[in-house]
Amino acid sequence: MAPQWDRLVTEQPDLAAIFEGAEPAGPVEFLRSAAGLLEGYFAVEDPTRLEPAERESLISAVVDEELLIRGYLDRLDVAPDGALRVVDYKTGGAPREAFEARALFQLKFYALVLWRTRGVVPRVLRLLYLRDAEVLDYTPDADELVRFERTVVALWRAIEQATARQDFRPRPSRLCDWCSHQALCPTFGGTPPPFPVALAGADPLRDARSAPVTPGADE
């Protein structure tokens, strides 16, 4: 870890700024925690037995003939028979069973894009939880991805409606105890900032017809 960090800072000096204002031991603690995550990775996979087809790959697709969705894959494995495995690394702990569906939402999103752009439903969606050295595998199917696509479109329409009404209401939960924006939240007597004024012109994130779709481009 240390030699690679030194190399990165030499190539990209701005990286050193992430420790500005931190304790003197900040870089040491960072490297120690990163090394711990690597130990978790090596506990669940042997990288010498892998040959990823793509890493940090930008994928995108148009759904419902108008909504452009896109994201970066941590890793995509392709088997000799063409089967796809989407792999995402998580630095946190593995979720309890009741929260697994929420954790898989992101990977279903990737699976939908791959299906729409490559015509192949990924055989495996894999979450690697490095801190706990645990693996969560899930196998989607086409019918499920059709339903998921409807969910994504419905969520976007709800966001558009809320934007038009300028109405984004807080949803208090136990997570509020860790929120850094209570001073701006009506739930805590705060005042939200003014709603941003829409910029003129097409928004490539909202209008798929105005933006190029470039699946498979590396970051």
Res 216: pLDDT:
40
pLDDT digits (tens, 9 = 90+) for 17-53: 888 877 777 788 889 999 999 999 999 999 999 999 9
Amino acid making up residue 4: Q
Q: Give per-residue burial for 164-175: e unless 16+ CB within 10 Å, then b.
A: eeeeeebeeeee
Asked whether residue 133 carries a pLDDT value surpassing 90, the answer given is yes
Which pLDDT band, with edges at 50, 70 and 90, does 204 fall under?
Answer: low
Average pLDDT over residues 55-74: 92
CATH of domain 51-219: 3.90.320
Tens digits of residue pLDDT in 70-127 = 999 999 999 999 999 999 999 988 888 767 788 889 999 999 999 999 999 999 999 9
* Contact (CB, 8 A) for 170 and 192: no
**Whole-prediction pTM:** 0.78
Question: Which tens digits make up the pLDDT trace of 168-184?
Answer: 889 999 989 999 999 99
Which residue did the predictor score with more confidence, 16 or 69? 69
Q: How far apart are CA 24 and CA 157, in angstroms?
A: 48
Name the most confidently modeled range: 1-5, 131-135, 195-199: 131-135
Q: Provide mean pLDDT across the span 203-219.
A: 44
The sign of the CA dihedral 26, 28, 34, 40 is negative
Q: Check: CB of residue 112 under 8 Å from CB of residue 126.
A: no
136-194 tens-digit pLDDT: 999 999 999 999 999 999 999 999 999 899 888 899 999 899 999 999 999 999 999 88
* pLDDT for the residue 218: 35
